[in-house]
Amino acid sequence: MVTQKEAGKINNPDNNLGSNQPIKDEIKTSSAVVVANYGNKIIVQDENNFRYKCHPRTAISQLVAGDKVLMQPDKSEVDRGLRGEIIAKLPRKNELSRLNSHKKLCPIAANIDFILVVVACVPTPQPELIDRYLVASETLDITPVLVLNKSDLLEEDVKGKKSMWDLLSVYEQLDYEIVPTSAKTHRTRDLKKILKGKTSILVGQSGVGKSSLINDLLDREVSAVGPISKGIHQGTHTTTVAQLFNIDTNVNGSIIDSPGIREFDLWHISKTEVENSFKEFSPFIGKCRFRNCKHRSEPDCAIKEAVSKGLIAGMRLNSFHRITESSRDNS
């Protein structure tokens, strides 16, 4: 517990303590974490795992799952612990953001240790989307992990298993960790090891089973699960808001479910940053004949040469082209 006076002492411009708000020493404040922001209400969880429906002081904006805050339970409700006021937002260690349709960067979640990129055989994996998440992780310096969910569907499917591992081996060779799971057959032991004591976020296409994994980890239905559409074998965008869940005392970690997406726009990331995020490119950067080489059809391109020698996967160079094509450097 922190008194409001102490909260005010935290030297942080982002504290956003409402300027005209009275400071009352006698009212205790609690540290809490934002579970979800539903627009008109924000759910937070205090250190004793009690949840409160809160409104923030007017100066506090953009709260997202994983944000650390100071909150004050409503005095009238204190016994029931239902409602409260968020009086300060603490500094973020990092934030994962998405561009909205107006190219405005909107945070999805904050204070993340691992980005868990979930893939499955259904819906069909999109390597470019995986690469986009990896670029975002590398630029934020957050460790990404590839989670291969629905591994139960591959057990009898030799061809499907081979094509999935042909894809994943590209990432394995780049030293990204790959964790097979199945929400259906409760195969989550290896995932739990990663979650231990950390805050992780599940990201990926709609329908890969992010919410199903959460339900399995918590052993109860906490997050809605949707069907895969019959015709096009895609998810049906069931989760609409990022939400944080605590995993049991053995794991003692937090996991954030997030809405599945079709596209992950990286317009705001420069070509150089993208290039640096493709870590296997690094021995060849600066070795092309032209300084501004786009690694397409230019002569003496070190990156293309590395692809022809099998040192860089062609699939990765394709993603690089697609990502840089739609970068702000080209607009």
Ligand X SMILES: Nc1nc2c(ncn2[C@@H]2O[C@H](COP(=O)(O)OP(=O)(O)OP(=O)(O)O)[C@@H](O)[C@H]2O)c(=O)[nH]1
DSSP output for 148-211: E--GGGGSS-HHHHHHHHHHHHHHHHTT-EEEE-BTTTTB-HHHHHHHTTSEEEEE-STTSSHH
Q: Rounded CA gap, 191 and 124, in Å? A: 22
- Residue 239 sits in the site that holds Mg ion (CB under 5 A): yes
Applying CB under 6 A, which of residues 235, 277, 281, 317 lies at the interface with ligand X? 235
HSE, side-chain direction, 13 A CA sphere, residue 123: 24
Question: CB under 8 Å to 201, separation ≥6 — which residues?
Answer: 66, 96, 108, 109, 112, 114, 115, 116, 242, 255, 256, 258
In the bound state with Zn ion, the residue whose beta carbon lies nearer, of 28 and 296, is: 296
In the bound state with ligand X, the residue whose beta carbon lies nearer, of 30 and 149, is: 149
How many residues touch ligand X (CB under 6 A)? 25
The helix, strand and coil proportions of the chain, stated in percent and rounded to the nearest 5, come to: 30, 25, 45
- Residue 183 sits in the site that holds ligand X (CB under 6 A): yes
Choose from ligand X, Mg ion, Zn ion, none: what does 293 bind? Cβ within 5-8 Å by kind. Zn ion
- Residue 238 sits in the site that holds Mg ion (CB under 5 A): yes
Interface segment toward ligand X; rule CB under 6 A; list 105-113, 190-198, 204-212, 244-252: 204-212
- Residue 211 sits in the site that holds Mg ion (CB under 5 A): yes
Site residues (CB under 6 A) for ligand X, limited to 95-124: none
Instruction: From 323, 52, 319, 49, select the one nearest 170 (Cα to Cα).
Output: 319
Choose from ligand X, Zn ion, Mg ion, none: what does 303 bind? Cβ within 5-8 Å by kind. Zn ion
In the bound state with ligand X, the residue whose beta carbon lies nearer, of 99 and 228, is: 228
Interface segment toward Zn ion; rule CB under 5 A; list 41-49, 56-64, 68-76, 303-311: 303-311
Choose from ligand X, Zn ion, Mg ion, none: what does 13 bind? Cβ within 5-8 Å by kind. none
Neighbours of 15 (CB within 10 A): 19
Choose from Mg ion, Zn ion, ligand X, none: what does 209 bind? Cβ within 5-8 Å by kind. ligand X
